[in-house]
Amino acid sequence: MELLVVKDKRIDYDGSAIRSHWAYRNFGILGNSIVVFRGKCDVKVEEMIDIEDVRAQKEIKSDDMIHYIIEVFDFPNVLLASALQKLFIAKICELLSEYGVKTKRKGDDIYIKDKKLSISIATVSPVSIKIHIGINVEAKGIPKDVNAIGLREIGIDDIEAFMEKIGKALQEEFNKVKKDSLKVRWAE
Amino acid sequence: MELLVVKDKRIDYDGSAIRSHWAYRNFGILGNSIVVFRGKCDVKVEEMIDIEDVRAQKEIKSDDMIHYIIEVFDFPNVLLASALQKLFIAKICELLSEYGVKTKRKGDDIYIKDKKLSISIATVSPVSIKIHIGINVEAKGIPKDVNAIGLREIGIDDIEAFMEKIGKALQEEFNKVKKDSLKVRWAE
Amino acid sequence: MELLVVKDKRIDYDGSAIRSHWAYRNFGILGNSIVVFRGKCDVKVEEMIDIEDVRAQKEIKSDDMIHYIIEVFDFPNVLLASALQKLFIAKICELLSEYGVKTKRKGDDIYIKDKKLSISIATVSPVSIKIHIGINVEAKGIPKDVNAIGLREIGIDDIEAFMEKIGKALQEEFNKVKKDSLKVRWAE
Amino acid sequence: MELLVVKDKRIDYDGSAIRSHWAYRNFGILGNSIVVFRGKCDVKVEEMIDIEDVRAQKEIKSDDMIHYIIEVFDFPNVLLASALQKLFIAKICELLSEYGVKTKRKGDDIYIKDKKLSISIATVSPVSIKIHIGINVEAKGIPKDVNAIGLREIGIDDIEAFMEKIGKALQEEFNKVKKDSLKVRWAE
Amino acid sequence: MELLVVKDKRIDYDGSAIRSHWAYRNFGILGNSIVVFRGKCDVKVEEMIDIEDVRAQKEIKSDDMIHYIIEVFDFPNVLLASALQKLFIAKICELLSEYGVKTKRKGDDIYIKDKKLSISIATVSPVSIKIHIGINVEAKGIPKDVNAIGLREIGIDDIEAFMEKIGKALQEEFNKVKKDSLKVRWAE
Amino acid sequence: MELLVVKDKRIDYDGSAIRSHWAYRNFGILGNSIVVFRGKCDVKVEEMIDIEDVRAQKEIKSDDMIHYIIEVFDFPNVLLASALQKLFIAKICELLSEYGVKTKRKGDDIYIKDKKLSISIATVSPVSIKIHIGINVEAKGIPKDVNAIGLREIGIDDIEAFMEKIGKALQEEFNKVKKDSLKVRWAE
């Protein structure tokens, strides 16, 4: 799995990055990838993946987020998409713990003292698994009914370092998942 | 996913429970399942799944463990097996944190201050995913080259309650993974 | 598999209900489902699934039908879609036999004395199997080249009871198919 | 799907014909196939596929049966195996109806006035779907707890003609299932 | 696999033939197929499949080509699509060798003395594998940066005979691939 | 895909190397791999994969061969196994052509003036694709009914260099197949 941390510019997330081959189209990265970038979040209704959100007419917005766009081509299966997503979220919580931040994971959501730090979605395209994880840098521009928190409010100020650290950790986690899948014999 | 916590007897784990339909053959549980039991662990070489262990001629032993045998029939894919396994291990670490126990997860291993609490394997049969997670109750009867720790040494004495609590948490985690996989539209 | 029989309103079928997650989008039903409703049928060309119909420029119309929209997420495979569809049609014929109505099944079509009672299509979306079965309540508004018959003409007047009875039967049939698939060991 | 009706000799069914490539190994038939033969039935415990039967220590026996061994290589999936099996059983019931015999299908079992006419199993090998359907010629040599019936008792005496007629019907049914799966566009 | 060689008319290739069921929609050919035709090539950007070409803003053009459109429904997997494509290209090179033409295959490209004879793409739709192979009849109307060659320049003038010969060879190659896949037992 | 050319010792091929994870068990190579070695060939009947050979009671023997054992974990599908095998054989023929050796490929067999140079089999394990290609170094110890030829008889004497050259070429071919599968968008 290749990792790209975009540091030289901001990219806003409108939901279109969830489409297949986004990393290859935009950055020439072939195969499994994590692309990390920073920018606003404002997901257009027609790009919303979570039908629960569409049904509830939720807004998905934040003024400043770091975004992880993950694509896995091994097998485009929604259960694998959903399992990998939860594992990545759990990994992020483990890393936040190393920063001394106590979190509560509920499925694919990260809470800090009942305040929501992140958003996430996992689905498939006809050829790949796609996962988006967005983490608030600051809790600004977020829909009013969401009690949100951002990285700055928990004392994480070196956003670029955090972007990269998390990116590397998710990359390593996936590589471990993959490696372990290859060293086991099948059971009867 | 159905959960069975076996409380009325001890069952030793020799590796054969990793075969497909073990829960149905032995307990009549049809479909996705978690069976939790307590007993010795002594995996016969011919039942070992991790070829790395076979190559290293490792012994897999413990005098007293709680065992989780998980079977998922949705799709027998090794990457999904490996991802679910890591997620379940991460969930166990999250629960141990609620007990006030600080853990370090390395892939599918749980460490407490560099001591190994658990063993785990994930693979596929031709019809299902099979995962075994074993957690030491006490660090006894464990191969000498392993620096191990058990639940009692971290102050968890109500083993039956722990067996059930973890079992329920893994069941809920899987059900969340499954549910979320069904509520997302596919991406282009 | 969840069953919903819509009794409080009529819903016309224009073909768009064949899209994935229609039941979740419209009724909040997650996962495998059968939704039964009553309404006109007039499938727009751009929604037609059967390319044979498109090639033949067939009209698919009826003034009053009961409709079954089935979605199965287990594995989006066209052969499974087609096999399940035929099985459901066979089941409907078995139930009509209990009403004393003699039918002739030809693949996915139900005939009563050479008159066509039903229409049906089965396909996949990228994440699910989708099946539509439409049964004429009355043989009205049907293309002139089709020799059609409706439920009223074979003496079935309690349409709501019939909608529900068939719905339950298809639900049970699927559950049996699923259950049996889980209790067999694999063969060498 | 190729059809072979073995008329020149009797073949007893001990369960081993459920293994993959049995038709190719024994008759040189490549690919999807139905092989029909006549002989005793006495399934050895180690060949039993239905774990429910193994758990109940059932005997699977009959002195004279016609046997259908079906293999489908398209996709080795247990749900497809189970759906095809039920469809084939439904088809047999439809044909018996043409003989004037009223049947009751319960999943994969055929009953005539509460007497059991048939046995059946469906599963997968790592490369194929395998289905066995056995129909009593006479209700002899059957375990005492089974209330059985045979073809002769319902007035079907030309066993060879019946073997072939059913064989052809199942072949046609499968070919229809397959053909229909190829002529539909995918749905969004 | 069915083969159709269109001889009575020219068909231009604009990329839309890469969509699923194109052969069935246009020629009524059900299932796996090769359709061979002759015509211009001018692939619209929105129909381009190779994202590398899109990124490089390549033009895909030729005034006179023979085109092979192959569709395989067995399993819509990109790796299988790509492997079959390379095999078909290798087969074409083997046939050109029989014409006394020495070729150099680079993946899915055919070169004759460093001049490019062909273009090709392989991908999946949600229900099938789709492959396009285009071979220049004459090196005319081709983007200037491509050093191209055509069949006429290597002494192949009976274009219709060549279209058919290659078509039959690819059909036989696929049938051999398929047949061999059915006659092997699975390995442990 | 990792390549290992075993040069320091001879390894005889008895068919057991066709089992899954053979490269990992014996050489610690994880994931997709090609292992090349030299040794006798004498495939035991119980290890034979080609049921056609078993049915014909063929002997598979040679006193001196170079062997390629390929394992691909991406998707354990027999059609992909068979397609990759033919592609690898075609690639070997292309390389022999560079040595000035004219070959005739028939599916997975390589002929030189009607003499057989090679043997090959492709199948799946429950977790991988496995391919064996054996090339005679000398036409000795081969069953009498086979008109065989070896590398020495076509002037290839540096066997180690040849082993490596072919190995690298197959590795590159697979990597190209894989890479191309990742850079194409899906078609409608």
3-class DSSP state of A170: helix
**Which tens digits make up the pLDDT trace of B46-100?**
899 999 999 999 999 999 999 999 999 999 999 999 999 999 999 999 999 999 9
pLDDT at A44 over 90: no
Is C133 in CB contact (< 8 Å) with chain D? no
**Which tens digits make up the pLDDT trace of E109-137?**
999 999 999 999 999 999 999 999 999 99
Is A51 in CB contact (< 8 Å) with chain C? yes
Q: Give the model's confidence band at D33: pLDDT under 50 very low, under 70 low, under 90 confident, else very high.
A: very high
Contact by Cβ (8 Å): A74, F178: no
Q: Please report residues of E whose CB lies closer than 8 A to that of C78.
A: 73, 127
Least confident segment among C118-122, E142-146, F148-152: E142-146
Give chain E's end-to-end CA distance (angstroms, integer). 31
If phi over 0 gives left and psi between -120 and 50 gives alpha, with beta otherwise, what is residue D50? beta
3-class DSSP state of C149: coil
Average pLDDT over residues D165-178: 98
Cβ burial E131-143 (10 Å sphere, 16+ → b, else e): bbbbbbbbbeebe
E70-E73-E77 Cα angle (round to 5)? 90
Is D100 in CB contact (< 8 Å) with chain B? no
Average pLDDT over residues E83-92: 98
Average pLDDT over residues D135-142: 96
Question: How many CB atoms sit inside 10 A of residue F28's CB?
Answer: 12
**Which tens digits make up the pLDDT trace of F83-132?**
999 999 999 999 999 999 999 999 999 999 999 999 999 999 999 999 99
CA C104 → CA A113, B168, C85, D91, F62, distances in Å? 65, 50, 16, 11, 61
Report chain A's mean pLDDT, rounded to a whole number: 97
Å between A20 CA and nearest CA of chain C: 13
Is E50 in CB contact (< 8 Å) with chain F? yes
Å between B82 CA and nearest CA of chain F: 13
pLDDT at A50 over 90: yes
**Which tens digits make up the pLDDT trace of A106-165?**
999 999 999 999 999 999 999 999 999 999 999 999 999 999 999 999 999 999 999 999
Verify whether the Cβ–Cβ distance A126 to F21 is below 8 Å.
no
Is C46 in CB contact (< 8 Å) with chain D? no
Report chain E's mean pLDDT, rounded to a whole number: 97
Tokens 């950790």 label which residue? A169
pLDDT at E44 over 90: no
**Which tens digits make up the pLDDT trace of E63-79?**
999 999 999 999 999 99
pLDDT at C44 over 90: no
Report chain D's mean pLDDT, rounded to a whole number: 97
The percent of residues above 70 in pLDDT, for chain A, comes to 100
Closest CB to A87 among B19, B90, B178:
B90
Global ipTM: 0.97
3-class DSSP state of B104: strand
Is F79 in CB contact (< 8 Å) with chain D? no
Verify whether the Cβ–Cβ distance C49 to D86 is below 8 Å.
no
Average pLDDT over residues B18-37: 98
Verify whether the Cβ–Cβ distance D51 to B25 is below 8 Å.
yes
Q: Please report residues of E whose CB lies closer than 8 A to that of D74.
A: 74
Q: Where are the strands (E) in chain E, listed by range?
A: 2-5, 33-42, 61-72, 104-106, 109-112, 115-116, 118-124, 129-136
F139-F144-F146 Cα angle (round to 5)? 65
pLDDT at C5 over 90: yes
Closest CB to C20 among B74, B75, B185:
B185
Strand-by-strand arrangement of the F109-112 sheet = F104-106, F109-112, F115-116
Verify whether the Cβ–Cβ distance F55 to D21 is below 8 Å.
no
- CA atoms lying within 13 Å on the CB side of residue D152: 8
pLDDT at E99 over 90: yes
Å between A140 CA and nearest CA of chain C: 30
Verify whether the Cβ–Cβ distance A25 to E78 is below 8 Å.
no
CA A169 → CA A134, A137, A162, B11, E94, distances in Å? 16, 19, 10, 38, 48
Å between C127 CA and nearest CA of chain B: 7
> Tell me, what's the pLDDT at C176?
98
pTM for the model stands at: 0.97
Verify whether the Cβ–Cβ distance D73 to E182 is below 8 Å.
yes
Is F186 in CB contact (< 8 Å) with chain A? yes
Å between D130 CA and nearest CA of chain E: 14
Å between A73 CA and nearest CA of chain F: 8
Q: What single string gives the DSSP state of each residue in chain D?
A: -EEEE--SS---B-SGGGSTTHHHHHH---SSEEEEEEEEEE--GGG--BHHHHHTT---EEEEEEEEEEEE-S---HHHHHHHHHHHHHHHHHHHHHTT---EEETTEEEETTEE-EEEEEEE-SS-EEEEEEEESSS-S--TTS-B--TGGGT---HHHHHHHHHHHHHHHHHHHHHHHHSBPPP-
The percent of residues above 70 in pLDDT, for chain C, comes to 100
User: What is the tally of helices (H) and strands (E) in chain E?
Assistant: 4, 8
Q: Please report residues of C whose CB lies closer than 8 A to that of D178.
A: 79, 82
A–B CB contacts, 8 A cutoff, strictly below? 134
Helix (H) or strand (E) holding A100: none
Report chain B's mean pLDDT, rounded to a whole number: 97
Instruction: Kindly report the three-state secondary structure assignment for every residue of chain F.
Output: CEEEECCCCCCCECCHHHCCCHHHHHHCCCCCEEEEEEEEEECCHHHCCEHHHHHHCCCCEEEEEEEEEEEECCCCCHHHHHHHHHHHHHHHHHHHHHCCCCCEEECCEEEECCEECEEEEEEECCCCEEEEEEEECCCCCCCCCCCECCCHHHCCCCHHHHHHHHHHHHHHHHHHHHHHHHCECCCC
Is B51 in CB contact (< 8 Å) with chain F? yes
pLDDT at D44 over 90: no
Q: Please report residues of D whose CB lies closer than 8 A to that of B126.
A: 76, 124-126
| Higher pLDDT pick, E25 / B44 | E25
